[in-house]
């Protein structure tokens, strides 16, 4: 397993593009209203990955810097989004974005902040934000107790993945947010979200996660057998559902 978190997803880009969830349109409405966004707004999507959230912002007409240190993931974003005139790809990290001082109105981190939650990131975000600019930390939080399938899938991850318990973004706590946001002040918005998968989709979704063993490894093959057992036991008419709660933590830094 790579020690460098920026390399963890290099071999999982195809599955990431195909099977990771998008975000409800209500998330974009919330950010527009709370951050007074307009078509002139400049947004930095830090830890942009393959550009899932970036694309939603581009579709709203904002100017978007997609900051991503993982080369294969950034290449996937460029391949999908280069036709947008308002898209700028940046090979940068959360603590060294390469963006100009006070150059962005909003920073978003979608499914990413748990990889770079540190003081250096807070300093960098403060540098690139315009006065009164905000940061939105966003996750699709998979509900692990929503039904029997959800409980079985989470048990599989806990018992047979590589380091799920260590890197799970749900390890981020209120204390982390209070340290990160200015004066410990932030708001939280939660919006329902879901994905429906057949067996192929569930397999792709599982192996898009960095804590699941690589599919071509012995451990990955063993994980796949167990995953198929879970699907066979809990599917309804050949489908299973991931229920999420999309969470937005919004504040100044």
- The CATH number of residue 30's host domain is 3.40.50.150
Query: Which is higher by pLDDT, 114 or 81?
Result: 81
User: Is residue 83 in some structural domain?
Assistant: yes
User: Is residue 209 in some structural domain?
Assistant: no
User: Is residue 60 in some structural domain?
Assistant: yes
What is the share, in percent, of the chain residues with pLDDT greater than 90?
Answer: 78
User: Is residue 237 in some structural domain?
Assistant: no
Measure the CA dihedral 56/85/103/179, to 10°. Answer: 20
User: Is residue 15 in some structural domain?
Assistant: yes
User: Is residue 158 in some structural domain?
Assistant: no
In this model, does residue 35 exceed pLDDT 60? yes
pLDDT (average), residues 8-26: 78
Q: Flag the least confident range among 16-25, 124-133, 162-171, 221-230.
A: 162-171
In this model, does residue 73 exceed pLDDT 80? yes
User: Is residue 216 in some structural domain?
Assistant: no
Please give the model's pTM, rounded to 2 decimal places.
0.88
Q: How many domains does the chain have?
A: 1
Q: Flag the least confident range among 113-122, 143-152, 185-194, 224-233.
A: 113-122
Domain containing 127 equals 5-142+167-194+244-251
The pLDDT, as a whole number, for residue 173 is 62
């Amino acid at each position: 397993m790579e020690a460098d978190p920026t390399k963890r997803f290099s071999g999982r880009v195809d599955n990431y593009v195909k099977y990771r969830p998008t975000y409800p349109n209500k998330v974009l409405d919330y950010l527009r209203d709370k951050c007074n966004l307009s078509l002139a707004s400049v947004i930095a999507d830090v830890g942009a990955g393959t550009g899932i959230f970036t694309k939603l912002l581009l579709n709203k007409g904002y100017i978007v810097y997609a900051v991503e240190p993982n080369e294969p993931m950034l290449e996937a974003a460029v391949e999908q989004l280069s036709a947008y005139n308002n898209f700028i790809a940046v090979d940068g990290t959360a603590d060294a974005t390469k963006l100009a001082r006070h150059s962005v109105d909003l920073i978003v981190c979608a499914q990413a902040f748990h990889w770079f939650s540190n003081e250096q990131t807070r300093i960098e975000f403060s540098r690139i934000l315009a006065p009164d600019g905000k940061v939105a930390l966003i996750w699709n939080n998979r509900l692990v107790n929503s039904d029997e399938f959800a409980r079985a899938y989470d048990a599989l991850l806990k018992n047979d993945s590589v380091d799920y318990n260590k890197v799970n973004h749900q390890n981020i706590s209120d204390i982390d947010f209070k340290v990160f946001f200015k004066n410990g002040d932030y708001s939280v918005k939660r919006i329902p979200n879901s994905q429906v998968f057949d067996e192929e989709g569930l397999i792709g979704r599982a192996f898009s996660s960095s804590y699941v063993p690589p599919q071509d490894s012995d451990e990955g093959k063993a994980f796949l057998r167990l995953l198929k057992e879970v699907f066979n036991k809990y599917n309804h008419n050949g489908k299973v559902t991931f229920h999420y709660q999309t969470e937005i933590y919004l504040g100044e830094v």
